[in-house]
Amino acid sequence: MRHVLDEFLYYLVVERGLAENTLLSYSTDLLQFIEYLEKRGVRGWEEVNHGLILAYIIQMQKQGRSPATISQHLAALKSLYSFLVRERLVGHNPTEYLESPRLPKRLPRVLTVEEVERLLAQPRVDTPAGLRDKAMLELLYATGLRVSQLVALNVDHIDLEGQFLRCLGKGSRERVVPVAPVACRHVEKYLLQARVKLAKDRGEPALFLNQQGRRLSRQGCWKIIKAYARSAGLQKEITPHTLRYSFATHLLENRADLRAVQELLGHADITATQIYTHLTQKKIREVYERAHPRA
């Protein structure tokens, strides 16, 4: 079973071009399922039936796994069995009629414009690290990039004169994102005054560098954001996507077209963008109830 799993993961890389994080998630989830099967004496994928998978789901529920986690495991299994059937490695698909558990629709937590301003004002721009952090925060809020996309940027991915950057989205799809003039100015200042001091190797392509002169990691960037959130006195729970969520919500609050916001975020499906409209509708409702004499 593990050998077949390796073939499946190779297929995901070569044929479907899935991102590294997605591959890691599939691999982890499917290895857990293999361990579950081995404990029950199952030695081949063709021996798996509908009942075995249901028992696995019930076990995860008893362990307190969230509906999102269970849905993720099922998605990996469904994708694997589609591959196995197509390659004629099994004769039936036991996941065919399985439905994922309903997920609660959770609205992302966003910052107000005033809270964003407080956060962006935190870095001290009299140090190389402060100039870097200021450029990072401004760029995140100006573009709606994921933190992983931000740290993956190279110097030649951003065109300060043209005010745009190139980044890779999910599925390794390249897209062009406009960059606000304010963010461009801070990135330019960082490049001229700070990056040259942080860089130890002139051949290093990364845009944002750590104190060792290497590419800043996603975890490193996230720690920096959390530290500035604390110093800004923000009481809300901050996640790596907080500035991305705030970027989208503030655009929609200022009447940006939903399709345009979809393009800016790099969402393949507009339903992924529509969750932000719930936030703006909620705000409209609050204004209405506060202002209308009959509300």
With a CB cutoff of 8 Å and minimum separation 6, the contacts of 56 are 33, 36, 73
Q: How many C-beta atoms surround the C-beta of residue 165 within 10 A?
A: 26
Q: Is 241 a catalytic residue?
A: yes
The tokens of 210 are what?
A: 């750590």
Indicate which residue of 170, 175, 215, 283 is catalytic.
170
Indicate which residue of 73, 134, 244, 250 is catalytic.
244
Indicate which residue of 73, 134, 146, 250 is catalytic.
146
Q: Is 146 a catalytic residue?
A: yes
Indicate which residue of 56, 81, 245, 276 is catalytic.
276
Q: Coil, helix or strand for 19? A: coil
**Among candidate residues 119, 130, 120, 123, the one with its CA nearest the CA of residue 193:** 130
Distance of CA 271 to the CA centre of its chain: 16
Q: With 0-12 CB in 10 A as exposed, 13-18 as middle and 19+ as buried, what is 8?
A: buried
Q: Is 170 a catalytic residue?
A: yes
Q: Is 105 a catalytic residue?
A: no
Strand partners, 168: 174
Query: Which residues form the catalytic set?
Result: 146, 170, 241, 244, 267, 276
